[in-house]
Amino acid sequence: MAWRTPYDSVRHMQKLQVVKGMHDVLPQEMPQWLQIEAAYRDVATRFGFGEIRTPVVESTDLFARGVGETTDIVQKEMYTFVDKGDKRLTMRPEGTASAARAYIQHGIGGQEPISKWIYAGPMFRRERPAKGRYRQFYQLGAEIFGAPGPYADAELIDMLVQFLAAVGVDNVAVELNSIGSGESRARYRQALIDYFEPHASKLSEDSQRRLRTNPLRVLDSKVPIDKEIAAGAPGVLTHLQPEDRAHFETLRELLEAFGLAVSINEGLVRGLDYYTRTVFEVKDKSGKLGAQDTICGGGRYDGLVELLGGSSVPAVGFAIGVERLLMSLPPFELASTLDVFLVVPQAALRNEGAKIARALRQSGLRVDADYRGGSMKSQMRRADKSGARFAVILGEDEHARGVVQLRNLKSKDTKELPVRDLAQYVESVA
């Protein structure tokens, strides 16, 4: 048998690619991601939110119970596996169930009456990849636990709108609905069954199943024939009982008082089972996102904490899809982050150059150099390309006198400076 080296298997291997439906965020894209996260934290801090990080992996049971057995997420889309200890685990498809689990586990309700949490991180759903639809995507989320009234809903929607304005999203619509709770829900459910039943045989297979398990979800179908039939379905708002109605009306009044434009969409039911009363979505109206135009979804989920084993704690929240948010934004101008690019043409002076770079970095400047060395001309070309504000040039003559040439790469002015004055000078020039 011929001798095989480990490299043979590498050579015969398929080209390694990122997993289908997942994507890399490269360094040139990262500044925009960081800017968006920073803006989110800034707005959330102004609204009194703290931040939580929960694990990416949770027990499968959490999502099965929390998100709902009848949802597409639980039935078709979860990345679930059995670990070496025979535990069924799932890569989180969303953040709300995890937040509620942490809220219960740490007894937060006993420590404070109201908790306001944001989170940022990757979520996993094995959906069919499409424009704006990934299998690993990022969410910026917010959850408020312990506040039953519509004021929390209004504050949350206000925070969302303020954040979107802060990052420059302008062409969006906020859609609002109430799917009621308790008695309202039971009555509406029956009204939907009564309406859909005579059309049942024409509905898609999924919708026929949903009609039995969760008739509200038939309204959420994207199948054309389902949509056509659903268009004639009775509206939810006329089925709301007095308390649900009062909640919805006060929320509308508050949003109006804030000057926030929202449109009522009675067909908005959301795809997760935990919602009660308020539901809302933000849709991109620029046309840039195609079919996946929902940037953010959220709503109230007053029963989830209790369903997961906690006490009866009302809650409301939302999550923004970062990839979709980015797609709706105008092109990002990448600004250079370098102050100084060091140019050292003589190989003999490279150690001196490295020492200067180190000292400048220690004094807080952002400094880079080209490890490869090379001619003055090629290093200057790299300095220009780096986008740095200044090139610091160290030649033999300068080294002998303890100075450097400082070239402003925008104005092209060059001046000579003692090495010890360099950091202060660069910092003083805006």
In whole angstroms, how close is the CB of 291 to ligand HAM at the nearest point?
Answer: 12
In whole angstroms, how close is the CB of 268 to ligand HAM at the nearest point?
Answer: 11
295/403 with CB nearer ligand HAM: 295
181/386 with CB nearer ligand HAM: 181
Phi and psi torsions of 342, nearest 5° = -90, 130
In whole angstroms, how close is the CB of 220 to ligand HAM at the nearest point?
Answer: 11
In whole angstroms, how close is the CB of 136 to ligand HAM at the nearest point?
Answer: 8
199/324 with CB nearer ligand HAM: 324
Of the candidates 153, 54, 50, which has an alpha carbon nearest to the alpha carbon of residue 101? Answer: 54
Of the candidates 188, 213, 234, which has an alpha carbon nearest to the alpha carbon of residue 71? Answer: 213
Report the interface residues with ligand HAM, using CB under 6 A: 94-96, 125, 127, 132-134, 137, 139, 141, 143, 271-272, 294-299, 301, 317-319, 321, 323-324
122/374 with CB nearer ligand HAM: 122
314/353 with CB nearer ligand HAM: 314
Beta-carbon contacts of 369 under 8 Å, excluding residues fewer than 6 positions away, are 341, 342, 343, 344, 353, 354, 357
Beta-carbon contacts of 277 under 8 Å, excluding residues fewer than 6 positions away, are 178, 179, 180, 181, 244, 247, 248, 299, 300, 302
Distance of CA 158 to CAs 67, 175, 247, 401, Å? 25, 13, 17, 61
In whole angstroms, how close is the CB of 54 to ligand HAM at the nearest point?
Answer: 12
278/379 with CB nearer ligand HAM: 278
In whole angstroms, how close is the CB of 416 to ligand HAM at the nearest point?
Answer: 54
Residue of minimal CB distance from ligand HAM?
Answer: 321
